Amino acid sequence: MHLSLHSEVATIPLSLADKGIQECSFKITFFGYAEPALRKLQFLAELGMASTEPLEVNGSTVRPRELLMQLLRQLPQAHEKPISKGYKAVITEAEGEAGGRPVLLRAETVGGRHAGWGISGGTLLVAAPPAIAARWLGAGSLNRPGVWPPEQVIEPEPFFDELTRRGFTTRLSRTETVAQAMSN
């Protein structure tokens, strides 16, 4: 998992400034790749195969990336589009205090592939929110003039209902710490 620059990091602290927000980060796993695929790419990059700088090899000049791309083109190609089996989970956590006790709020949205469209849960979960917003804009349901971050104009419950219609499950939870050991 690594930090990623997303618009939420800029908009949420402004949108929730009155709530006392102190920190906002966006983390993503492995750039969207499965870990084994990422490790193979990482290995090739560490070898220098992603370089576009010319390299002298036995009297000829090659660019490692061009060589790698040519070798990849020689691999057997699939004749049919692979069936996506991917799932996607988006988890949002907010930590704070309520009544002097630590509280964790968590929203978790999970979904799998759409068999009819042949797309993964990841593709669908990236596409569905803007599609929902676009439909609401077209229907006149979102009529606040100007450009606004989603957290300022979209009501969560109807939005989660729309995600449910598209095959996603959203779970909301609140965990309150009632007793905590003192650290040494």
25 assigned to some structural domain: no
Residue 154 makes CB contacts below 8 A (sequence gap 6+) with 133, 136, 142
pLDDT averaged per 10 residues in sequence order, the chain, 184 residues: 81 90 82 75 93 94 94 86 74 89 93 85 90 94 90 94 94 91 75
**Domain range for 64:** 37-73
Last residue of a domain, one of 21, 48, 73: 73
- Residue whose entry in the numeric block shows the structure tokens 């560490």: 46
pLDDT of residue 107: 94
pLDDT computed for residue 31 by the predictor: 61
Residue 111 lies in a domain: yes
Which of 73, 92, 118 terminates a domain? The answer is 73
The span from the CA of 1 to the CA of 88, in Å, is 14
Cβ atoms of 87 and 111 closer than 8 Å: yes
If asked whether residues 137 and 94 sit together in one domain, one would say yes
The pLDDT of residue 39 is 86
Distance CA 88, CA 121 (A): 5
Asked if 117 contacts 130 with a C-beta cutoff of 8 angstroms, the reply is no
State whether 97 and 119 are in the same domain.
Answer: yes
Residue (of 72, 78, 2, 1) closest to 40 by Cα position? 72
Q: Are residues 106 and 165 in the same domain?
A: yes
In a domain, 29, yes or no: no
43: three-class secondary structure by DSSP? helix
92 and 46 assigned to the same domain: no
Is the domain of 65 the same as that of 88? no
What is the spatial distance between Cα 148 and Cα 31, in angstroms, rounded to a whole number?
27
Residue 163 has a pLDDT of 94
Does 11 reside within a domain? no
Tell me if 94 sits within 8 A of 105, measured CB to CB: yes
Whether residue 117 sits in one domain with residue 46 = no
- What pLDDT does residue 130 have? 93
6 lies in some domain: no
In this predicted structure, what is the pLDDT of residue 164? 94
* Boundary residue ending a domain (15, 49, 73): 73
Say if residues 54 and 63 touch (Cβ distance below 8 Å).
yes
Considering the domain boundaries, does residue 94 fall inside one? yes
Q: In angstroms, what CA-CA distances link 145 with 37, 129, 140, 141?
A: 44, 20, 11, 12
Answer yes or no: do 117 and 44 share one domain: no
| 158 and 178 within one domain | yes
